[in-house]
Structure 1
Amino acid sequence: MVVNRGLTMFWFLIFFWIVRVGSVPIKNFKNTIAIDKDSSTSMGIQHRKGHWVEPPETVQGDLSVTEISGIEQAVVEGDLLLSDERLAVDSLWPPIDGITSIPYKLSDSLTERKQTILAGFKMISDPTCIHFHEYTNEQNYLNIIPGKGCASYVGFQGGAQNVFFDSSCSSGNLCHEIMHALGLHHEHTRPDRDSFITIQWEAVVPEKKSNFMIKQGNTQGLAYDTESIMHYGNSYFSANGNPTIIPKDKGVDMGQRTHLSPLDIIRLNKLYHCGESE
């Protein structure tokens, strides 16, 4: 009899425990799963990549060697190319009969965008002594071809020098790339930049930090130019939406791609000796 009462009490406790555990609201269990599934702490940088703020000239692709238009090139700073044989140099395009007139050749697939491309050339040729003409049979020329973004080498390379022009690129983007081809780097990489801007390293996409490294070079004795067509915008390559570049002067607008700044014009004219007597 005592045994039967013990068994009865045992099964009663088991039944009571099952009922109590089963009474936990199901919706709370679902909410726990949803919070875990949607938790931002589980999202790595690759998941947030779609929210990066990239320069309009950025080559699409995350590898240091990116295939662009079927040609493998080393990509640095988003839109700069390094040749397989040598590092990019800041050499100038040689004059032809004393005139800096650079031949260009357009891919047949870019014929419909010719006016956009010519407008990019005009942004440079109007205020400087640098001209552009259609390729005939010159040995050295700019080879404008479609690609997965907008990209260029820095400085004169010799031969058919590729400039990649994606369907999303504007006249201003092409102007930016031609400025690279003429020998200019990004303004925010100047040796004196820290006196004028602050790089927010914690906001920069980790694998893009090399885009913000200082380069040693000749500033031509000209002032730092936040208005330059060669300057990054304040949120380029931001991993979290916060600024990656903060100007020390308030109200400064950076990253425009609509025109050459006055200092851009002076810089090109000095670089190519425009206005100097023969």
Structure 2
Amino acid sequence: MHKSLYVLVLSCLQCCGYARFILPRVPDVVHPPVPDHDEELFDPEESPGLFEGDMALTNEFYNYWRVGIRWDIFPNKLWINGTVPYVISPLYEPSDLVTIYKAIRIINFMTCVRFVPWNGKSKDYVLIWPIKYPKGCWSFVGRFGGAQIVSLQAPDHKGPNCLGTEGRAIHELMHALGVFHEQSRWDRDKFVKIHTDNIIPRFISNFDKQSLENTTYSFEYDFDSIMHYGKYFFSKKKGKPTITPKHADVKALGQRKSMSKGDCLKLNDLYGCLKNPRTRRKYYNICNFMGL
């Protein structure tokens, strides 16, 4: 890193309060490794070898997840008091840092969840880092314990990757908070059609849905969710949709711009923001006015 850039990054870190200690070292390669693939064919959110493309999970979740992790089953996966300490890699360019900070500020403003600079002491925290292998946009789901990676691949000569806008960062940070993909809901077949013939065979399982007994939802299906797959995710061939809406008035699926109204409500509900009489009206209003 150029000295001037390093000084600028350190200044940003000091402003956020965590440059008074040594930043953690993160390996370029995260184990276990995942299968290699043709980089030209894949969106950085579709990393092969991870659950549904961009989620690092353990088997304990498969039978219990819903719109978000069931805290009654896995209370240890909840971020205590809705507070998430974080560290951002100094390897990012200043413009990429701005994009990541915007994502954090949006979540902090629209919900009662609080991402706060790591104080060097908290045992559990998020490391936002451009991991080289498996590279791409991916995250663990819920509080995993210790230093927890959120991989956000920086822009390169091929494109913006995870940081063209703050939307990709919001998507992965929501995974880290315990939120899963929208199209995996048990009731999704009422709203979307899965075109299995167009899906790369080894990724068909990424389109599995959960049974009603394992999933409960307080909100309607959200076509505009930042957590929803796009029409061509894991497609065999360009232009071949893998998932399409069944409602004629719905023209697009998913987006990576910002939280939808539904995303905002779900995240606030997951962390109890809507149960508190003092904050319920505030967050309902924010979600209604600021959600896409």
Q: Same fold (TM over 0.5)?
A: yes
Partner amino acid for 1:169? C
* Pair 1:123–1:57, CA change in 2 (3 A): farther
In the alignment, is the contact (CA less than 8 A) between 1:104 and 1:134 conserved in 2?
yes
Change (3 A) 1:51 1:161: closer
Paired residue for 1:246, among 244, 247, 250? 244
The 1:227–1:138 alpha-carbon spacing in structure 2 relative to 1, beyond 3 Å, is same
The yes-or-no answer on 1:214 pairing with 2:209 is: yes
1:145 is displaced (CA, Å) by 1.2
1:134 to 117, 128, 139: 117
Does the alignment pair 1:192 with 2:187? yes
Q: 1:106 aligns with which of 55, 75, 88?
A: 88
User: Residue 129 of structure 1 aligns to which amino acid in structure 2?
Assistant: C
Secondary structure at 2:204's aligned position in 1? helix
Deviation, structure 1 residue 58:
2.4
Given the superposition, is the C-alpha separation of residues 249 and 79 from structure 1 closer, same or farther in structure 2, using an over 3 Å criterion?
A: same
Deviations 1:233-264 (A, max 9, x none): 11111113311111011242212110111111
Q: 1:154 to 1:94 in 2, by over 3 A?
A: closer
**Runs of at least 5 residues in structure 1 that lack an aligned partner in the other structure:** 1-47, 65-74
- How far apart are 1:94 and its partner, in Å? 3.3
CA-CA distance at 1:208 after TM superposition: 1.0
Report sequence identity in percent. Answer: 37
The yes-or-no answer on 1:266 pairing with 2:265 is yes
CA contact (8 A) 1:141 1:161 kept: yes
Q: Which of residues 132, 135, 154 is equivalent to 2:141?
A: 154
Residue type of the alignment partner of 1:158: G
Query: For residue 197 of structure 1, what is the amino acid of its counterpart?
Result: V
Does 2:220 match 1:223? yes
CA offsets 1:128-156 (integer angstroms, 9 cap, x no match):
11111111121111111112101101111
Kept after mapping to 2: 8 A contact 1:78/1:211? yes
Q: How far apart are 1:158 and its partner, in Å?
A: 1.4
What is the TM-score with the length of structure 1 in the denominator?
A: 0.70
Question: Which residue of structure 2 aligns with residue 177 of structure 1?
Answer: 172
Deviation at 1:55, TM superposition (A): 4.4
1:19 paired residue number? none
Are the aligned partners of 1:140 and 1:158 in contact in 2 as well (CA < 8 Å)? yes
Tell me if structure 2 keeps the 8 A contact 1:93–1:102: no
**Paired residue type of 1:58:** E
Structure 2 counterpart of 1:57: 45
Q: Distance in 1 between matches of 2:248 and 2:44?
A: 24
How far has the Cα of 1:204 moved from its partner?
A: 0.6
1:47-126 counterparts in 2 under 5 A? 52=41, 54-59=42-47, 62=48, 64=49, 75-83=50-58, 87=61, 90=69, 91=74, 92-95=77-80, 99-110=81-92, 112=94, 113-126=96-109
Give the alignment's Cα RMSD to 1 decimal: 2.3
Q: Runs of 4 or more off by more than 6 Å in structure 1?
A: none
Q: 1:111 to 1:160 in 2, by over 3 A?
A: farther
Instruction: Return 5+ residue gaps in structure 2 as ranges.
Output: 1-36, 155-160, 279-292
Q: Which has the larger radius of gyration?
A: 1
- CA displacement at 1:120 relative to structure 2: 1.1
| Count of residues paired in the alignment | 213
Could you tell me which residue of structure 1 aligns to residue 157 of structure 2? none
The one-letter code sitting in structure 2 at the alignment partner of 1:202 is D
- Which of 128, 147, 152 is equivalent to 1:144? 128
Distance in 1, Cα, partners of 2:216 & 2:118 = 32
